[in-house]
Amino acid sequence: MSDAKHAYRKTLSQRIFHFLGSMDLAITLLLTLAIASIIGTVLQQNQPYTDYLLKFGPFWFDVFESAGLYDVYSALWFLAILTLLVTSTSVCVIRHTPSMLNDMRNLRTHVQEKSLRAMHYRAEWQSDNAVSDLASDLESHMQQQGFRAKQTLIDDGILVSAMKGGLNRLGYIATHLAIIIICVGGLMDSNLPLKLAEWQGRLAIETRDLPSSQIPAKSRLPVGPQAFRGSINIPEGRTSEVAFVGMRDGYLVQELPFKIEVKDFRIEHYATGQPKSFETDLIVFDDDLAQPIEQTISVNHPLFHKGYAIYQASFSDGGSALSLQAWPLTKVAGKETVEFEAKVFENREMIWGDQSLKLEMLSFRPFNINPDPTEDDPDRIRNFGPSFGFKLRTKTGEALEYINYMLPVEKEGRSFYLSGVRASPAEEFGFLYLPVDKNGGLDGFNQFLTELHSSDKVAAIAHNMMLQTLTDVADRTAELEQNLEQTLVILVAMFIDNGFQGVGEFIDTAVPENERENLGPAYLGMLREMLARIYFNSQDSSEIDNADSEQLLFLQDALNAIGSLSRYGSPVYLMLTDYEHVEASGLQIARSPGKPVVYLGCALLIAGVFILFYLPQRRFWLLVKAKSGVTTVLLAGMSNRNPREFDVFFEQQKQILQHGNGNS
Amino acid sequence: MTHLAGTIRTDNSSALMQWLWRIVIALSGVALLATYFNVFDGYEIAIVILTAVTLILLGQNWPQFRVHIISVSLLSWFAVARYGTDLDLGDSDFFLNYILSSQSAFMWMSALFVLATLTYLGGLLLRSDFTEKVATALTWSAATMGMVGLMVRWRESYLISHDVGHIPVSNLYEVFILFAVITALLYLFYERRYQTRSLGSFVLFVISAAVAFQLWYTFDRHAHEIQPLVPALQSYWMKIHVPANFVGYGAFSMAAMIGVAYLLKSWRQTHNPNGVIASALPDLAVIDDLMYKAIALGFAFFTVATILGALWAAEAWGGYWSWDPKETWALIVWLNYAAWLHMRMTKGWNGRPMAWWAIIGLFVTIFAFLGVNMFLSGLHSYGTL
Ligand code: HEM
């Protein structure tokens, strides 16, 4: 009754304490954390926000952003679950530690005979020995077994209490304390202080693409003891005194107390061509050092200095110099190729007539031994030579992205230059195949294209063809002649604009339905004839009938390419003539003051878990009493785990104790 | 003898055998260190010592394990000697081509595991002690062939070229073998300790399933070819992180299959208490205890493995914890079993719900092991570096 009253009168804080330390909460939290963790493994974290926007659309993008799903593991609600778990564990440790410590040391010398008789493991026998002798024998036997043992005098006899594996309780404390310590260490290394500073307005995340010297002070983190994980790409021969710390859709600049120079970056390869190592020769200049540190780092072999660790994380282009030729593909681009220089990551304006485009050079690779991007069979590996990627951006800001491979690729026995184009990173590249002429270049294609673009030439050939077509027509009029000639010119123009597809659409829309069946194939036949004439004219071999199959195939390939130019979108094809490769080493720079704390927690956790599982706490009691001339022994035992092993152990001990001491 | 089933076996090997074993292993370790003293770095020396201590502890009261280790050593040594410095002998030398080249050894292992599974099943259904003993012998042979295959493959990788050489725990193909061997050894340990062979067909079933997957993977993807290590994997941490993980995976798989046995027995017991299954399987309490033991062992090793992974990550990626999908799934697996252990230890749950939970746990584990590599991208897929 009074107990119930007492419970009733628990204060609110006691009740909260009780709730926090409850097992139900602990298990719920463990499982909640497990389930919540799944989110970040399914949704790729910390990607550029534009990617998420593309993937989810504006509505869900906003919803997910406000739920913090792009960086779940530092979202407030996720941290709240973690905090609750740590709190719960702490409460649990606080609540249990005193009794556990007590249990560890206490041999339970006050246990009642009644409780001993109620134990599952017990035995009783008689002996002729005197009580005190027997008790001492029993005590020393238990001690030999590695038990701590002690005799206690009670009313009518002696109680020997023994215990082994008291450490087990320490295992519990170590395991649970370890969780708290690991989380505290993790917190020390988290970006929570940055979030707090941002929230208070002391920090602002920079989202613009600025040179690091121009980044405002509000986005800079001074040298200090705080934890961070930043990265930096340093081209060969250049230095940096900062690292960039990515935050959501922007970054912060972390200043470093030293200067890092990348002397050289290397990739080594196995005989099979797979990369074997990524290495950077670093020089660290620090005013506190008499001499700069020179060290080579590689994956798995970082450099440590002043509590900072510098890791090889990635690599990229460091602004390679490219010599390019622009081959005209459209009329505005003219007839001649233009040569110019460009650097990776630099932009330049390109102007053709009234068309102006911004060329943004994105990437360069000196060689590509890749799965074929144009084939369905990804096992097929081939060499594509050097490649470079770029974007062409119009005044209105729309851009198409290109990738050009500089080693002609064989397809069905013919060679082509490949250029991929796409409108967004979410798409696959579509490829333009430019046929290579018999001299291994693009001249043949270019000549043909120039003829196609020359209205005089086309008009002249159309005239010729008209005359030949109409030789046998008796009642031809000037109007008919003009009509036919015009039609031929228009068909060619339509083909240049939109390929055979464009002509097909024209036929489907502009030709009356009843004439379509006859006129359609007629138009296409005429167009093909025209194109062939223009082509062979350009090749100075006007004899179409004598053409070899090689030429016809080239014509076919050229027409396919021209037909897809409207989708290709660029007025020129860029070809690489020379390059100077400059690489950049991607370094990750980190300071984690919490690391030793976490490691301490880990050591404690491992020790704790093994102790908990494999060092059971075992207790024995031997109550020795004199009863009407004989000495009786009551043996009882318990173990806090591994009952099956204790079954055997207890039985063994019972035998030994009974026979060794009882009847001697 | 059946009355013993489920009780803990406590006999110890004779003191002579124990000392002999300790001396043999210690001498082998010393010989190894003396031979390669110039090549080994501190970590490798530590690994040799650690391995020797583990072998001594496991073998001193476990005769079959001693035979296993000695057979593995002799067969591997024979194969390595046969190879000399010519990898091509693997296709022409009779012993290598048909028995001991890693590829052949794995085929033998696969066949023996499947055979052992069926034999255990036969022994269970026929209630034949003899058949079950044969199954145990088959399992030992399978584990031996698997282990020999791994050892020989290790050597083969060095025969390809010195810079390609590495311990065979670096890709899905190799770890599947490791999984099969470790799970089998764990099972054999408990089979002896609990003096019951009737759970063999259950545990061997996951091993056979793994072997089946492995065979498909070999033929479909040519996965058996030895590939050089990507830079991210060139670390001594791999040698201990991966095996520790597979003790965890193996123990969890065993626990799940024991869970299946539990459910089957408790179902048959209520419907047909005198039927084969109900009478052949050990007491429910024994099965339950064994399931707990397996999960505790798995949890302990998984804890170690995850921590080793964190230490490795700190060295390779610049942070001990990056919430990379593989890491995160390891945490999910770990939290799940932590909850399981609490439910059992502090709330006293046992029996059917815990058996079901152990089976669900296997699916979580399989996802962490396979699913992450197959479906999710992250640092562990080694996409960029
Ligand atoms: C991430 C958090 C936690 C982890 C990893 C953890 C881990 C463990 C482990 C491994 C055991 C041993 C289980 C066994 O012997 O089979 C254990 C036991 C125990 N845990 Fe936790 N625990 C956590 C949180 C908690 C919390 C929050 C509580 C308090 C409500 C708690 C209370 C206990 C208790 C009372 C035991 C039993 C100890 C004994 O009697 O030996 N644990 N824990």
Q: pLDDT tens across B364-374, in order?
A: 999 998 888 77
Distance of CA A418 to the CA centre of its chain: 29
Q: How far apart are CA B315 and CA B226, in angstroms?
A: 26
Beta strand segments in A412-567, E? 414-422, 430-435
Q: Which atom of ligand 1 is nearest to the CA of A172?
A: 38
Give the residue on A whose Cα is nearest the Cα of B329.
A38
With H, G, I as helix, E, B as strand and everything else as coil, classify residue A305: strand
- Tell me the longest C-alpha to C-alpha distance in chain B: 66
Mutate which of A41, A314, A588, A598 to test chain B, going by most B C-beta atoms within 10 A? A41
Residue count of chain A: 664
With H, G, I as helix, E, B as strand and everything else as coil, classify residue A345: coil
With H, G, I as helix, E, B as strand and everything else as coil, classify residue A162: strand
**CA B303 vs CA A40, A338, B245, B271, B299: distances in Å:** 21, 64, 9, 40, 6
Torsions phi, psi for A291 (to 5 deg): -135, 140
Q: How many CB atoms lie within 10 A of CB A251?
A: 20
Nearest residue to B300 via CA among A32, A175, A38: A175
Angle made by CA atoms A432, A437, A443, in degrees to the nearest 5: 85
235-264 of B, contacting A, C-beta below 8 A:
235
Q: How far apart are CA A261 and CA A310, in angstroms?
A: 12
CB A309 within 8 A of CB A295: no
Torsions phi, psi for A618 (to 5 deg): -120, 140
Please give the distance, rounded to the nearest whole angstrom, from the Cα atom of residue A110 to the centre of ligand 1.
29
pLDDT of residue B381: 40
Q: How buried is residue A192: exposed, middle or buried, by Cβ count under 10 Å (0-12/13-18/19+)?
A: middle
Give A-chain residues touching B338 at CB under 8 angstroms: 30
Structure confidence by residue, pLDDT tens digits, B168-178: 988 888 999 99
Angle made by CA atoms A485, A489, A490, in degrees to the nearest 5: 115
Cβ contact (<8 Å) for A186 and B8?
A: no
- Would an 8 Å CB–CB cutoff place A89 in contact with chain B? no
User: Is residue B345 within 6 Å of ligand 1 at its C-beta?
Assistant: yes
Q: How many CB atoms lie within 10 A of CB A305?
A: 19
- Would an 8 Å CB–CB cutoff place A589 in contact with chain B? yes
Give the residue on B whose Cα is nearest the Cα of A35.
B332
Structure confidence by residue, pLDDT tens digits, B2-21: 456 778 887 888 999 999 99
- Would an 8 Å CB–CB cutoff place B300 in contact with chain A? yes
Give the residue on B whose Cα is nearest the Cα of A590.
B318
Torsions phi, psi for A159 (to 5 deg): -105, 120
Structure tokens belonging to residue B232: 């991210």
Q: How far apart are CA A404 and CA A361, in angstroms?
A: 12
Give B-chain residues touching A645 at CB under 8 angstroms: 8
Give B-chain residues touching A300 at CB under 8 angstroms: 231-232, 234-235, 315-316
The amino acid sitting at A660 is: G
Cβ contact (<8 Å) for B339 and A302?
A: no
Beta strand segments in chain B, E? none
Q: How many CB atoms lie within 10 A of CB A450?
A: 16
Structure tokens belonging to residue A421: 């184009």
Give B-chain residues touching A588 at CB under 8 angstroms: 317-318
123-162 of B, contacting A, C-beta below 8 A:
161
| Residue B252: band (very low, low, confident or very high) from pLDDT cuts 50, 70, 90 | very high
Q: How far apart are CA B145 and CA B110, in angstroms?
A: 9
β-strand pairing of A250-269 with A220-221: parallel
Q: How far apart are CA B371 and CA B332, in angstroms?
A: 13
Sheet holding A157-164, edge to edge: A121-127, A630-639, A618-627, A157-164, A148-154
Q: How far apart are CA A418 and CA A433, in angstroms?
A: 5
For residue A288, the surrounding DSSP H or E stretch is none
Q: How far apart are CA A623 and CA B81, in angstroms?
A: 65
- Region for B166 from its dihedrals, namely left if φ exceeds 0, alpha if ψ lies in -120 to 50, beta otherwise: beta
Regions of chain A short of the pLDDT cut 70: 1-9, 371-380, 538-547, 660-664
Structure confidence by residue, pLDDT tens digits, A588-600: 999 999 999 999 9
pLDDT of residue B33: 93
Please give the distance, rounded to the nearest whole angstrom, from the Cα atom of residue A608 to the centre of ligand 1.
11
Q: Compute the nearest-CA separation of A298 from chain B (Å).
A: 8
CB B255 within 8 A of CB B355: no
For residue A83, the surrounding DSSP H or E stretch is helix A76-105
Please give the distance, rounded to the nearest whole angstrom, from the Cα atom of residue B342 to the centre of ligand 1.
6
Helices (H), ranges, A230-322: none
Minimum CA distance residue for ligand 1 atom 3:
A176
Q: How far apart are CA A96 and CA A101, in angstroms?
A: 9
- Give the 3-state secondary structure percentages of chain A, helix then strand then coil, rounded to 5: 45, 30, 25
- Region for A106 from its dihedrals, namely left if φ exceeds 0, alpha if ψ lies in -120 to 50, beta otherwise: beta
Give A-chain residues touching B235 at CB under 8 angstroms: 300
Q: How far apart are CA A467 and CA A240, in angstroms?
A: 73
**CA A602 vs CA A6, A112, B24: distances in Å:** 41, 41, 34
Structure confidence by residue, pLDDT tens digits, B200-211: 999 999 999 999
Q: What is the ipTM of this complex?
A: 0.93
pLDDT of residue B113: 97
- Would an 8 Å CB–CB cutoff place A656 in contact with chain B? no
Residue B385 has pLDDT above 70, yes or no: no
CB B94 within 8 A of CB B160: no
Q: How many CB atoms lie within 10 A of CB A106?
A: 14
Structure tokens belonging to residue B93: 């030398």
Cα torsion B311, B314, B319, B322: sign: negative
Give the residue on A whose Cα is nearest the Cα of B163.
A270
Q: How far apart are CA B341 and CA A176, in angstroms?
A: 14
Q: How far apart are CA A445 and CA A329, in angstroms?
A: 10
- Would an 8 Å CB–CB cutoff place A596 in contact with chain B? no
- Would an 8 Å CB–CB cutoff place B374 in contact with chain A? no
Give the residue on B whose Cα is nearest the Cα of A588.
B318
Please give the distance, rounded to the nearest whole angstrom, from the Cα atom of residue B293 to the centre of ligand 1.
16
pLDDT of residue A43: 85
Residues contacting A41, CB < 8 A, separation 6+? B325, B328, B329, B372, B376, B378
Please give the distance, rounded to the nearest whole angstrom, from the Cα atom of residue A35 to the centre of ligand 1.
19
Q: Which residue has the tokens 């934890």?
A: A227
Give A-chain residues touching B227 at CB under 8 angstroms: 274
Which one-letter DSSP state was computed for residue A338?
A: E
Q: How far apart are CA B302 and CA B374, in angstroms?
A: 21
Of B10, B163, B164, the CB nearest to A648: B10
- Would an 8 Å CB–CB cutoff place B163 in contact with chain A? yes
Nearest residue to A301 via CA among B317, B47, B164: B317
Q: Compute the nearest-CA separation of B134 from chain A (Å).
A: 27
| Residue B123: band (very low, low, confident or very high) from pLDDT cuts 50, 70, 90 | very high
**CA A585 vs CA A282, A483, B233, B282: distances in Å:** 10, 65, 19, 62
Sheet holding A355-365, edge to edge: A347-352, A355-365, A387-393, A399-411, A414-422, A430-435
Q: How far apart are CA A319 and CA A340, in angstroms?
A: 16
